[in-house]
């Protein structure tokens, strides 16, 4: 099935286990950074992936862009298996899926001018000549709100917001269909965050892009997300439309995350739930539901069994308390 009907991206049970050395007398252990995550991404839509630091978001981003190979699971782009190592899959991966990172300081080479940074992907992956590459770079700079005279400047001469615009422009140089944005605005001031988010939404409209938008901060994704996947210790605990999750969060973890984000609309302002303790180590995950020790609704069962992700009318949730309430 490789046609327009297939979802743009389809991930099934993606896993990434990292081997870790534990010293000379202990056997090597495994970190289950990502432990069975599934989703589909439709054309022109945004899937937000949220959760505290350490829950596996960046690991997922690296698998989607094939910076790393999954330990298990499948990943298709319009019905084409991306995990196959053949020229067609390689080309799809390189061109159709791009990643934009949080840190525009670290990800832009300080010794290269903006023009060079933008043209680099074209040198490797296109047949365009020098003049055509420059024209394309200038065109993309205009799209992201940079000026022509910025072409010959170095990254350090720009503000954080401008650097993030450069990083976005670079990600778009090969006309990707999917952009994985890993905390694209997390390093920016709140006022600048909104500008970059608006730019990303405009570009999505104009270019028909699909986003996997990764953020530890739920408030950032409210306006950009169509779907939200909430992750906890390498697994999805709740997934549904942004509307469903923001207006009526069901998993106790989603509720706690959302209660910590500022809400302007008084109707949706809710009781503040304090999330105590820390994310447990994926090297030594708790028995039962990974969230049980921090959950204010936990029942006996939660400490012993791991809840499966179940489908309800408008979403999926992995929680025994929700299950019992029906
Ligand atoms: N290369 C690696 N080797 C071992 N552990 C890793 C590696 N990369 C990530 N991890 C671990 O996997 C978990 C998830 O990390 P990450 O995907 O970066 O989470 P997030 O982006 O949500 O903060 C963390 O516990 C992290 O320490
Ligand atoms: Mg991360």
> From the CA of 54, how far away is ligand 1's center (Å)?
6
How far apart (Å, rounded) are the C-alpha atoms in residues 302 and 292? 6
Nearest to 181 by CA among 171, 190, 191, 173: 171
**Helices then strands (H, E): number in the chain?**
10, 12
Instruction: Calculate mean pLDDT across residues 80-91.
Output: 84
- Residue 55 CB less than 6 A away from ligand 1: yes
- Residue 59 CB less than 6 A away from ligand 1: yes
* Fold classification of 9-325 (topology level): Rossmann fold (3.40.50)
Instruction: Calculate mean pLDDT across residues 139-155.
Output: 97
How far apart (Å, rounded) are the C-alpha atoms in residues 228 and 205? 19
- Residue 61 CB less than 6 A away from ligand 1: no
Pairing of strands 310-311, 235-241: unpaired
Q: Which one of 30, 59, 64, 284 would you pick to mutate in the ligand 1 pocket, going by the greatest count of ligand atoms within 8 A of its CB?
A: 59
Kindly identify the ligand whose nearest atom is closest to the C-alpha of 53. Answer: 1
- Residue 22 CB less than 6 A away from ligand 1: no
Residue of 244 and 261 predicted with greater confidence:
244
Strand order in the sheet with 80-81: 29-41, 9-20, 72-77, 80-81
Contact 202, 153 (CB under 8 A): no
- In this predicted structure, what is the pLDDT of residue 278? 82
Phi first, then psi, for residue 322 (nearest 5°) are: -65, -40
Query: Per-residue pLDDT tens for 183-236?
Result: 999 989 999 999 999 999 999 999 999 999 999 999 999 999 999 999 999 999
Q: Is the pLDDT of residue 1 over 50?
A: no
The closest residue, in CA terms, to atom 11 on ligand 1 is 33
> From the CA of 38, how far away is ligand 2's center (Å)?
18
Cα 207-45-76 angle, rounded to 5 deg: 95
Q: Is the pLDDT of residue 143 over 70?
A: yes
Nearest to 90 by CA among 117, 114, 69: 69
Q: Is the pLDDT of residue 268 over 80?
A: no
Query: Per-residue pLDDT tens for 91-142?
Result: 878 889 999 988 766 778 999 999 999 999 999 889 999 999 999 999 999 9
What is the separation of C-alpha 42 from the centre of its chain, rounded to a whole number of angstroms? 15
How far apart (Å, rounded) are the C-alpha atoms in residues 50 and 256? 13
Domain residue extents for the chain: 9-325
What tokens does 193 get?
């965050």
- In this predicted structure, what is the pLDDT of residue 2? 46
DSSP string, 66-94: TSS--SEEEEEETTEETTS-SHHHHHHHH
Q: Which helix (H) or strand (E) holds 38?
A: strand 29-41
């Amino acid at each position: 099935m490789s046609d327009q009907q297939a979802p743009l991206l389809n991930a099934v049970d993606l896993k990434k286990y990292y081997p870790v050395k534990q010293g000379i007398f202990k056997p090597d252990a495994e970190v289950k950074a990502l432990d069975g995550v599934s989703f589909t991404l439709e054309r022109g839509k945004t899937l937000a992936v949220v959760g505290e630091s350490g829950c596996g978001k960046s690991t997922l981003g690296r698998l989607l862009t094939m910076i790393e190979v999954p330990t298990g699971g499948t990943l298709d782009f319009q019905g084409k298996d991306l995990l196959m190592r053949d020229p067609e899959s390689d080309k799809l991966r390189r061109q159709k899926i791009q990643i934009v990172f949080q840190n525009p300081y670290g990800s832009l080479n300080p010794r290269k001018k903006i023009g060079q940074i933008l043209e680099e992907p074209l040198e490797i992956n296109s047949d365009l000549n020098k003049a055509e590459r420059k024209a394309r770079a200038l065109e993309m700079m205009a799209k992201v709100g940079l000026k022509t005279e910025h072409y010959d400047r170095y990254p350090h001469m720009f503000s954080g917001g401008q650097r993030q615009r450069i990083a976005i422009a670079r990600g778009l140089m090969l006309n990707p269909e999917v952009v994985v944005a890993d905390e694209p605005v997390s390093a920016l001031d709140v006022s600048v965050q909104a500008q970059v988010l608006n730019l990303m939404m405009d570009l999505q409209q104009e270019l028909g892009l699909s986003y996997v938008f990764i953020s530890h901060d739920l408030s950032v994704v409210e306006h950009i997300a169509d779907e939200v996947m909430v992750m906890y210790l390498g697994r999805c605990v709740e997934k549904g439309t942004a509307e469903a999750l923001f207006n009526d969060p069901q998993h106790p973890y989603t509720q706690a995350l959302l209660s910590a984000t500022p809400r302007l609309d008084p109707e949706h302002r809710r009781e503040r739930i304090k999330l105590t303790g820390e994310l447990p180590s994926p090297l030594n995950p708790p028995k039962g539901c990974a969230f049980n020790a921090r959950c204010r609704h936990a029942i006996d069962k939660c400490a012993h069994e791991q809840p499966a992700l179940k489908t309800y009318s408008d979403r999926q949730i992995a929680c025994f308390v929700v299950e019992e309430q029906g």
